A and B are shown apart, each in its own frame.
Chain A
Amino acid sequence: MNLNAIGIIFSNMHDEEMHEITGSRTMGALPFGGKYRLVDFALSNMRNSSVASVGIVAKSNYQSLLEHLGSGKEWDLARKREGLFLFPPYGRSSAGIYKNKIEALNGIMTYIDRSRYDYVIITDCDTICNMDWEEPLSFHITQGADITVISYKLKAEEERKKETVYSLSPEGLVTDMKISQTAKESDIIGTNMWITGKQFLVSMIQEAMAYSLTDIEKDIFQKNLCRYKIAAWEYNGFLRKINSLNDYFKANMDILEPEARKVLFYNHGPVYTKVMDEIPVRYGHKAKVSHSLIADGCLIEGQVENSILFSAVTVEKGAVVKDSILMKGTYVGENAILQYVLSDKAVTFSNGRMLVGCEQQPIYVNKGSKL
């Protein structure tokens, strides 16, 4: 049985906040965890929750995203009826390209309106978790809510900047929300994932367009807390929000822990991604590897510790890679030393090169650089 909802994924939001690595790709296409891309989490959650129709809204730099998604077959969304829908900017002569989510949703109104399902699930790509949408959807229905936001209660030692913080009534209704706050332990924050009814969404967007509103959170949710019934459903599993380069680095490092991998990648269903046909990893005689994730296609002759290596990374003899994340095709020459380095795709570190960052400030190396 399909879930009674369509999915809409925004692939571009928050690009500006981490412009270093989203310069040449949209947020959704950001590589994560050795072989995945952020959009895989949003898409796999929908697939594993039997959402039959998913629309992906892309605004700019979407080439690598389109390449990654293909027909959607990896997520079982290459269907004759429904399946995966891609919405790159669709500029009409009168309106031009959309500038915000409200305009974007208005632009795909036909897709929403034609759906044969009663609800709509909307998410960005900046939150990674492994979640069953069925639970918040039934919560939304039993609460009789107009909108249900997926919330997350910060755990001990978690501190986050620029978050939306909710105040809730005992029944789980949002009574107040503050935007762009520094949030601390046990604060309840937003995740940019929400559910609403199809008809409700259609009229909400039509009204917003009529008043030229621009921001869903500020202009609609926040200003209508009394008028709309906005509920919050708390997700209490493993969840990471990625709004900065440091968030990104840390979230990757977190999955080096076996327990985190178990819940993020297998909890409610596997995370699917595009299959790359890389050959298995080869370790040489002098290889020394510890507490690391290594993707297929790598060749390891040197030392790797506490790191994540994406596919087809080469670590030559005598090289040392520590506390680093090396994306696809990175080449680490003989005797090179890297610590706290985040290298983008196809970076070359020449023999003997040494780069050392620190935990709070990993060194980011641009795509294709030769050092």
Chain B
Amino acid sequence: MQKECIAMLLAGGEGSRLGVLTKNRAKPAVYFGGKYRIIDFTLSNCVNSRIDTVGVLTQYQPHELNDYIGNGQSWDLDRANGGIHILPPYQRREASDWYTGTANAIAQNIPFIDRYKAEYVLILSGDHIYKMNYYRMLEYHKEKGADCTIAVIEVDIKEASRFGIMNTKEDNQIYEFEEKPKEPKSNKASMGIYIFCWDKLKHYLELDEKCDNSANDFGKNIIPAMLAAGEKMYAYPFYGYWKDVGTVESLWEAQMDLLNQKENILTSDMHWTIYANSPVRLPHYISSKAKVDNCIITEGCSISGNISSSVIFQGVTVEEGASVSNSIILPGAYIKKQAKIQNAIVDENTVIGEMSCIGEAAPENTEKSIPLTVIGRNVHIQDSEAVEGNMMVDVDHREVIS
């Protein structure tokens, strides 16, 4: 039963900035890259890093995520000892609460971690796209004799004030943590990936639970408390592709990165396979009427229109004369004749009517941001209907993306 290191994946956040895309699904279950969901990257990282016990903490809209994870077989996480465990909040004798913060979610599951007699706990969040060897990070953590190791990535110093910044000594020991500093002293941004020695973390979680005005958050409470107490905390520098996909814009951008050979995370480190729970579909069919230019298309699609600079998920139909550019089309969408889609994310099982026009072209002034359009799940766009840029369309209402 004993496990050296187990992973706890925080999957309960609402992801409200993704709008209709997270209306009925938790953020980790949001689609990415043609056949994946965001959580596939963290789960595959775990398995590829030889971590075979993962607790997934769910709270917000968990059904789709639960269905998707199933028994974990797709990631080889259906294990007799360990494997994947979904951990929603549960009723206890003394109290029953929702998870009030990231630290509270772990605190409520102390018995789960104790059951595995884990020495180390890896804390992950399910909203980033990256390939990382956690096993190496664990080796680093042991080498340094650290109590806590935080993975960091060097960001552009101009952007640093958007992140939680780690200020470190030469040997990467963290002496200060600043959440979104106005004048950043370093460009080492926290990736939200922590390894703790479990006895230490447990101690600080218990302290934090006793503190009434705590937000029960790793970044706001646990990390500062440990630093203040002088625990040994190290930054683990990560070099590679890493993208937060918490907003519509970043989710779209990260998928456009896949179209660029150099930045395609799927083709870098090919042996580091990203696993997904995909249904069996036929190879996709490209008809004699179709044009495909710089795009990603996956199984089960039937393409007769023009696709350029786009990512097309399973089972999408694009009829003759329709065109899709700079867009992301999620599973089962049906795009009818002569429809035109640009700079958009079109969610699952939508129908885009004939001659309709979704989204608008990018502004010529490249300084300006691209107006993105999002069409929510099951929406039916009528024939000849137009949906302009910066719009978010749901089954029952529309709003402008702020």
Which chain A residues have a beta carbon within 8 Å of chain B's beta carbons? 33-35, 73-74, 256, 258, 261, 265, 270-273, 275, 277, 279-285, 287-296, 300, 304, 308-310
Contacts and interface: CB of A to CB of B under 8 A. Distances in A.
B295 A283 contact: yes
A62 B286 CA distance: 34
Contacts of B264: 282
B275 to A, nearest CB: 5
A287 B290 CA distance: 11
A279 B264 CA distance: 11
A279 B267 contact: yes
Given A287-B293, A292-B286, A277 B275 contact: yes
Given A283-B307, A287-B294, 18 more contacts: A33-B282, A35-B299, A74-B280, A270-B280, A275-B278, A275-B280, A277-B276, A279-B35, A279-B274, A280-B297, A280-B299, A281-B284, A281-B298, A282-B267, A288-B291, A290-B287, A291-B286, A294-B283
A281 B288 CA distance: 18
Contacts, number: 94
Interface in B236-270: 264, 266-267
Q: Is the interface of B mostly helix, strand, loop or mixed?
A: loop
A296 to B, nearest CB: 5
A291 B290 CA distance: 9
Contact of A291 (B288, B292, B297): B288
Contacts of A33: 282-283
Contacts of A292: 285-286
In the complex, the 10 A-B pairs of residues with the closest C-beta atoms, listed nearest first: A280-B34, A34-B283, A295-B283, A280-B298, A289-B286, A290-B288, A293-B283, A283-B292, A279-B266, A291-B288
Interface of B: 33-35, 73-74, 264, 266-267, 273-276, 278, 280, 282-288, 290-299, 302, 307, 311
Given A280-B35, A282-B296, A285-B293, A290 B282 contact: no
B286 A309 contact: no
Contacts of B284: 281, 293-294
Contact of A308 (B73, B283, B295): B283
Task: Output the residue of B35, B286, B294 with the most chain A CB within 10 A.
Answer: B286
A277 B283 contact: no
A175 B181 CA distance: 90
Given A277-B275, A280-B298, A35 B292 contact: no
Contacts of B293: 283, 285, 287
B297 A287 contact: no
Contacts of B33: 280
A118 B298 CA distance: 43
Nearest to A34: B283
Contacts of A34: 282-283
5 contacts: A272-B280, A280-B296, A283-B292, A294-B283, A308-B283
A273 B280 contact: yes
A193 B47 CA distance: 43
A277 B266 CA distance: 11
Contacts of A304: 286
Contact of A295 (B267, B295, B299): B299
Contacts of A261: 282, 285
A281 B296 contact: yes
B298 A265 contact: no
A240 B287 CA distance: 23
Given A272-B280, A293-B282, A296-B299, A283 B294 contact: yes
Contact of B35 (A271, A283, A290, A296): A296
A287 B293 CA distance: 6
B283 A290 contact: no
A73 B288 CA distance: 37
A270 B285 CA distance: 17
B325 to A, nearest CB: 13
B283 A284 contact: no
Contacts of A295: 283, 299
A293 B285 contact: yes
A65 B47 CA distance: 26
Contacts of B286: 289-292, 294, 304
Contacts of B307: 283
Given A258-B302, A290-B288, A291-B288, A35 B282 contact: yes
Contacts of A289: 286, 290, 292
A12 B216 CA distance: 63
A40 to B, nearest CB: 9
Given A261-B282, A272-B280, A292-B285, A284 B294 contact: yes
A147 B307 CA distance: 53
Nearest to A304: B286
A265 B282 contact: yes
Nearest to B44: A277
Task: Output the residue of A270, A282, A285 with the most chain B CB within 10 A.
Answer: A282
Contacts of B302: 258
Nearest to A276: B278
A279 to B, nearest CB: 4
